[in-house]
Chains A and B, each alone.
Chain A
Amino acid sequence: MIQFLFYFLSFVAVAAGLMVVTAKNPVHSVLYLIIAFFAIAGHYILLNAQFLAIVHIIVYAGAIMVLFLSVIMLLNLNNDNEPAKSNVLKLAAAVAAGLLLVTFTGALKGTESIIAAQPFDDQIGYVKALGKVLFNDFLLPFEVSALLLLSAIIGAVVLVKHDLK
């Protein structure tokens, strides 16, 4: 059952990912990307990481993609005003993507033989366990990333204040 779900979700994720690239209409691309995000959230649930799955949906599908979608809707993109890319550029992109694939395959090859340092804890993805780990073992990185977000918020406020000289 779980294996079937894994293959189903992987199929959806890969198919939606392909459609993001190949779809003619940018709005369709965004919608396929949302489907891909949901498939990945399903993978997180299969790994018992409920919190990560729901945050993934809230942040990516619920907030970032809504912004993407509204910007793309306003741009009203179509074939007429799409810049034509040269063949050299297309070739370079294909080679770069192929090299990335080779790198990933090389990096992931042989991971199944690695033995986990700790026995699998099925509570690890739950909010309680995650919160304890975040606030005990990784407090400093957690706070640093919070500061990063804070600086981004302040930056956004400063950018919209025109009269602030």
Chain B
Amino acid sequence: MFTPELIFKIVLIVAVFAITLLIAMYSTYGERKIAAFMQDRLGPNRAGIFGILQPLADGVKMFMKEELIPNMSNKVLFILGPCLAMTTALMTSAIIPWGSEITLFGNTFNLQITDLNIGVLYVFAVTSIGVYGIMIGGWASNNKYSLLGALRASSQMISYEIAMGLAIIALIMSTGTLSMREIAAAQAGFHWNIFVQPLGFLIFIICAFAETNRAPFDLPECETELIGGYHTEYSSMKLGFYLFAEYINMFVASAVISTLYFGGYNFPFMNDMGLSSNAIAILGVVFLFAKIFFFIFFFMWIRWTIPRFRYDQLMRLGWKVLIPLAIFNILLTGAIIFATN
């Protein structure tokens, strides 16, 4: 029953879950520190040395706050909303290849929870159902600002999903597989997909910003127009779940971008240095996380640099710029494949 494979997978699932939560927790700290750096401030520096315990203090604060459920809200759905947001945020990490094969006690294991042969589509499906947490929470609050935030979130996510899917189609055309593991393995060394699909990468990362509701696309929670958007009525740890889900989404989106376009766990000269396969696997994990941290930093960098879009500008960019560009990218990829074969 408990084969080494199963035990390894269970350990991996727990580890991925814990690391995701830890990184999401410290992303909040990182975001405040980066914002402070960009605005020439100090940022959180009271709790522990350099304010390193700030996320813990925030967590305790969130748990201790008074729990408010509006009288006229739909109670079941009000509670279901943040749960769904959190669950869908955590689901994508199941198919990300965290490293190549590792050999422990004579058994070879894949550093990936599961390898679906429809891997990329799974990412896409989870992204597309991720909007329910926001929509249900926004509607159940029975508040006009919340509803408007939820509607903005849904229309924004549907619009940008199309361009995102089309960018992924071009990537699938050039890699010839849907499996995340095979996509990562095909980029061994320095053959990263970014050099093959630069336009696709640009479209994908813009859509990733929109799908994670990060600035400059954070219209669903635009505080100058909608108070707090879909989470206006939320308090205590339910609000914490929504905020936390955003950081988890950001982490997972960074992992997906690194895997699809930046070689995943591959790093230059990985097979030329005479390292054992275990050393390559461990170094690969380190490199993957370095890439992920860079993209998380990139998300924050953009947030504190570029102002928010207006809503009609957002829709124009999605439908009239990104979708035609993505279709052009597919045609270009097809033409190049046709010409080189």
Contact = CB atoms under 8 A, between A and B. Distances in A.
A25 B125 CA distance: 27
Contacts of A50: 116-118
A73 B121 contact: no
B154 A58 contact: no
B118 A54 contact: yes
Contacts of A63: 128, 158, 161
Interface string A99-119: 000000000000000000000
A57 interface: yes
B90 interface: no
B147 to A, nearest CB: 6
A128 B151 CA distance: 37
Contacts of B154: 66, 69-70
Interface string A57-69: 1100111001101
A55 B129 contact: no
Given A27-B139, A50-B118, A51-B121, A73 B128 contact: no
Contacts, number: 64
Interface residues of B, number: 26
B161 A31 contact: no
A58 B128 contact: yes
Give the most central of A25, A34, A66, A126: most B CB within 10 Å.
Answer: A66
Contacts of A66: 128, 131-132, 135, 154, 157-158
Nearest to B150: A73
A62 to B, nearest CB: 3
Nearest to A55: B121
A31 B127 CA distance: 17
B117 A126 contact: yes
Contacts of B127: 62
B278 interface: no
A127 B158 contact: no
B301 interface: no
Contacts of A54: 118, 121-122, 124-125
Nearest to A53: B118
Given A50-B117, A127-B117, A31 B136 contact: yes
Contact of A70 (B77, B125, B155): B155
Nearest to A57: B125
Given A66-B154, A67-B158, A70-B154, A51 B129 contact: no
B164 to A, nearest CB: 11
A61 B122 contact: no
B178 interface: yes
Contacts of B116: 50
Nearest to A62: B128
B121 A58 contact: yes
Interface in A5-55: 25, 27, 31, 34, 50-51, 54-55
Contacts of B147: 73
Nearest to B157: A66
A51 B178 CA distance: 10
A35 B117 CA distance: 24
Nearest to B116: A50
A74 interface: yes
A61 B132 CA distance: 10
A7 to B, nearest CB: 23
Interface of B: 74, 77, 116-118, 121-122, 124-125, 127-129, 131-132, 135-136, 139, 147, 150-151, 154-155, 157-158, 161, 178
